[in-house]
Structure 1
């Protein structure tokens, strides 16, 4: 049995009344690809990049929620803050080691979102246990990067393409990147959906891709957009 984590001020486990039919907030530009009006509590979601992860965590923490990040020792708190994440509400467990299953299991009791990398460190029975507990407690579980797809995830979100705005003919600065956000999954998410977004947008926050491209805009497509 896992030991309880220290209690964080303002954190309380969700009750069954909180969970039923409730969702966590998302940025308006992301909402069209979701099968729910927000992030459904208790869902399991795979995201393809840190940029997309921060985009999802920003509205949750801004609304007073808590989002733990586990198994990501190189995560940039500065990049998270620039993307709008309230980093004071983003506890980090960079190197859980062999205690990964116990750490995730304990965090599920108090966090609104638990994002995990390194699922290879979890045994199948641990994954099933944590998934069931997250559904009961109303915690959104996220796995990060393609190699860490959560088995049987309700939703998979990934980025495609990458057209940078702001770079002219040999001069200027990169200001924003237009990408396609794609979603697929099972159940209500079985029908693939996609939408265009600026990620990052001007100033670092995600924004709608409604700005027309100026002359000399640079197009870049590569692994960094996955």
Structure 2
């Protein structure tokens, strides 16, 4: 089966199975993460850059996945599906392209035709022309891109500056809580927030604004 035929087949399957969505620009996003994003949610046709935490990037997808949307990841050969499921990703609606090689951006553009949210990573600077082509596809299809690493002119950049684990007992307890300090930069200006993950999922009570760095 050719690549184009495979995409058409996947698109037909997703169209048949995906929960219909209203014409809102926003994509369902976990309420606990809303303060990290301008508008309080991921927005269709937009790109987001996440630095320092794959868990945070996956958690951003979880709301869309839980709502019935199809999501995918390109370029993560070591992605732990069990950990992704613990963060709220519905694996039955999750497409994984672990080793796209030099065709990462091509795979991202192709998947954005059929998926609601696509996760990828960058190991080298992305040329503006290539980013523009992907962005045009995102806007045309109403998809969202989350990039672990740099992406030209993202809607928002989320940078984890501190990561701490806590558990029962020093050195031998269960690591039950993961706390991240996240610096965000978007049209609202820079700010710093704390997000805590309990049992794999973000928890609202431990989220608080540290300071506005305006």
Q: Please state whether the residue corresponding to 1:3 is helix, strand or coil.
A: helix
Aligned residue-pair number? 198
1:196 aligns with 2:197: no
Cα RMSD (Å): 2.7
| Residue of structure 1 aligned with 2:55, choices 48, 51, 65 | 51
Pick closer, same or farther for the CA change 1:74–1:169 going to 2, 3 Å: closer
Pick closer, same or farther for the CA change 1:172–1:129 going to 2, 3 Å: closer
1:160 aligns with 2:161: yes
Q: Deviations over 1:67-101 (max 9, x none)?
A: 11001111111110111111111100111123323
Distance 1:9 1:62 in 2: 20
1:105 aligns with 2:97: no
Distance 1:55 1:92 in 2: 16
Alignment of 1:112-151 (within 5 A): 112-118=116-122, 120=124, 123-144=127-148, 148-151=149-152
Pick closer, same or farther for the CA change 1:111–1:174 going to 2, 3 Å: same
Structure 2 residue ranges without an equivalent (≥5) = 16-20, 208-214
Distance 1:116 1:42 in 2: 15
Identify the residue that residue 3 of structure 1 maps to in structure 2: 4
Per the TM alignment, residue 104 of structure 1 is displaced from its structure 2 partner at its CA by 1.7
Distance 2:176 2:164 in 1: 11
Pick closer, same or farther for the CA change 1:59–1:171 going to 2, 3 Å: same
Identify the residue that residue 212 of structure 2 maps to in structure 1: none
TM-score, scaled to structure 2: 0.80
Identify the residue that residue 211 of structure 2 maps to in structure 1: none
